[in-house]
Amino acid sequence: MRFNEAFIYTLREDPSEAELVSHKLMTRAGMIMKVSAGIYNYLPLGYRVIKKIENIIREELAKEHCAELLMPTVVPAELWRESGRWGYYGKELLRFKDRKENDFCLGPTHEEVITDIARRSMKSYRDYPRNLYQIQGKFRDETRPRFGLMRGREFIMKDGYSFHTNEECLDKTYWNMHAAYTRIFTKLGLKFRSVEADSGAIGGSVTHEFHVLADSGEDKIIFCTKCDYAANSEKASKQINDNFAQANNEIALPQDVETPNKKSIEEVSQFLKIPQEKTIKTLLYVIDEDKLVAVLIRGDLECNEVKLRNFFKGNIIEAADENRLLADGFAVGFLGPVGFKSDVKIAADYSVKSVIDGVIGANKKDFHTIHILPKRDLPDLEYDDFSFADKGDLCPVCGGLLDVCRGIEVGQVFKLGTKYSKAMNMTYIDESGENKTPTMGCYGIGVGRTAAAAIEQNHDENGIIFPIEIAPFSVSILLLDAEDKQAVEIAEKLYLDIENAETGIDALFDDRQERPGVKFKDHDLIGIPIQVIVGTRGIKSGTVEVKIRENATKESVAIDKIFEYVVKKIEELKRKIT
Among 46, 217, 448, 467, binds ligand ATP (CB under 6 A): 448
Q: Is the Cβ of residue 143 or residue 556 nearer to ligand ATP in the bound state?
A: 143
Burial class (CB in 10 A: 0-12, 13-18, 19+), 443: buried
Q: Give the nearest distance from C-beta 380 to ligand ATP in angstroms.
A: 37
Residue 140, interface with ligand ATP (CB under 6 A)? Answer: yes
| Least distance CB 341 / ligand ATP (angstroms) | 34
| Contact of residue 142 among Mg ion, ligand ATP, none (CB under 5-8 Å per partner type) | ligand ATP
At position 227, the amino acid (one-letter code) is C
Closest distance to ligand ATP from the beta carbon of 168 (Å):
25
Using CA atoms, how far residue 538 sits from 370, 512, 549, in Å, is 83, 19, 19
Q: What is the 3-state secondary structure (H, E, C) of 361-391?
A: ECCCCCEEEEEECHHHHCCCCEEECCCCCCC
Nearest 5°: CA angle at 237, between 235 and 240? 155
Least CB distance from residue 443 to ligand ATP, whole Å?
A: 9
Q: Is 547 in the site for ligand ATP (CB under 6 A)?
A: no
Closer of 43 and 410 to Mg ion (Cβ): 410
**Closest residue to ligand ATP in the complex (CB):** 446
Q: Least distance in Å: CB of 443 to Mg ion? A: 11
Longest dimension (CA), the chain: 97
CB 170, CB 441: distance < 8 Å: yes
Residue 531 interaction partner, one of ligand ATP, Mg ion, none, beta carbon < 5-8 Å per kind: none
Peptide bond into 438 cis (omega under 30): no
Between 87 and 116, how does the x/- string for binding to ligand ATP read (CB under 6 A)?
A: ----------------------x-------
Q: Does 467 bind ligand ATP (CB under 6 A)?
A: no
- Taking the least distance from each CB to Mg ion, the nearer of 108 and 299 is 108
Pairing mode, strands 219-224 and 67-68: unpaired
Q: Residue 291 in contact with residue 257, Cβ under 8 Å?
A: no
User: In 3D, which of 200, 63, 150, 45 has the Cα closest to residue 409?
Assistant: 150
Among ligand ATP, Mg ion, none, residue 152 binds (CB under 5-8 Å by kind):
ligand ATP
For ligand ATP, which stretch binds (CB under 6 A), given 387-395, 406-414, 484-492, 553-561? Answer: 406-414
Q: Would you count residue 528 as binding ligand ATP (CB under 6 A)?
A: no
In the complex with ligand ATP, the residue whose CB is nearer, 195 or 468, is 195
Instruction: Report if residue 284 touches ligand ATP, rule: CB under 6 A.
Output: no
Of positions 48, 449, 547, 569, contacts ligand ATP by CB under 6 A: 449
**Residue type at 75 in one-letter notation:** V
Closest CB to ligand ATP among residues 158, 549: 158
C-alpha pair distances (Å), 168 with each of 60, 198, 499: 22, 21, 49
The whole-angstrom separation of Cα 285 and Cα 564 is 66
Among candidates 518, 494, 521, 489, which has minimal Cα distance to 508?
494
Under 8 Å between Cβ of 280 and 295: no
By C-beta, is 130 or 449 nearer to ligand ATP? 449
- 167 — phi, psi (to 5°)? -60, -40
- CB nearer to ligand ATP: give 173 or 232: 232
Determine which residue in the list 46, 337, 374, 446 makes contact with ligand ATP, applying CB under 6 A. 446
Closest residue to Mg ion: CB criterion: 412
Pick 10 or 109: Cβ nearer Mg ion: 109
Contact residues for Mg ion, defined by CB under 5 A: 412
In the complex, what is the shortest distance from the CB of residue 488 to ligand ATP, in angstroms, rounded to a whole number? 43
DSSP 3-state assignment of 106?
Answer: strand
Nearer CB in complex with ligand ATP: 155/192: 155
Distance (Å) of CA 502 to CA 464, 492, 496, 508: 28, 17, 12, 16
Is the Cβ of residue 109 or residue 427 nearer to ligand ATP in the bound state?
A: 109
Q: Does 535 bind ligand ATP (CB under 6 A)?
A: no
Q: In the complex, what is the shortest distance from the CB of residue 413 to ligand ATP, in angstroms, rounded to a whole number?
A: 9
Site string for ligand ATP, 112-131 (x = CB under 6 A): --------------------
Give min distance, CB of 195 to Mg ion, in A: 11
DSSP 551: T
Binder to ligand ATP among 444, 472, 529, 538 (CB under 6 A)?
A: 444
- Binding part of the chain for ligand ATP, among 39-47, 147-155, 268-276, 563-571 by CB under 6 A, reads 147-155
Bridge partners, residue 292, by sequence? 286
- As a whole number of angstroms, the distance between CA 574 and CA 578 comes to 7
CA pair distance 197, 211, nearest whole angstrom: 11
Q: Which does 446 bind (CB under 5 to 8 A by kind): Mg ion, ligand ATP, none?
A: ligand ATP
Residue 27, φ and ψ in degrees, nearest 5: -70, -50
Which of 235, 222, 547, 551 lies closest to 394 in space, CA to CA? 222
Residue 408: is it exposed, middle or buried by C-beta count within 10 angstroms (0-12/13-18/19+)?
A: buried
DSSP-derived 3-state class of residue 453: helix
* Least distance (Å) between residue 409 CB and Mg ion: 6
SS3 content of the chain, % helix, strand, coil (to 5): 30, 30, 40
- The two beta strands, 130-139 and 67-68, are parallel
Number of residues that bind ligand ATP (CB under 6 A): 15
Give the footprint of ligand ATP on residues 154-183 (CB under 6 A). Answer: 155, 157
x-marked contacts with ligand ATP along 409-438 as a string, rule CB under 6 A:
xxxx--------------------------
Exposed / middle / buried, residue 565 (Cβ in 10 Å: 0-12, 13-18, 19+):
middle
Residues lying near ligand ATP in the complex (CB under 6 A): 109, 140, 142, 151-152, 155, 157, 409-412, 444, 446, 448-449
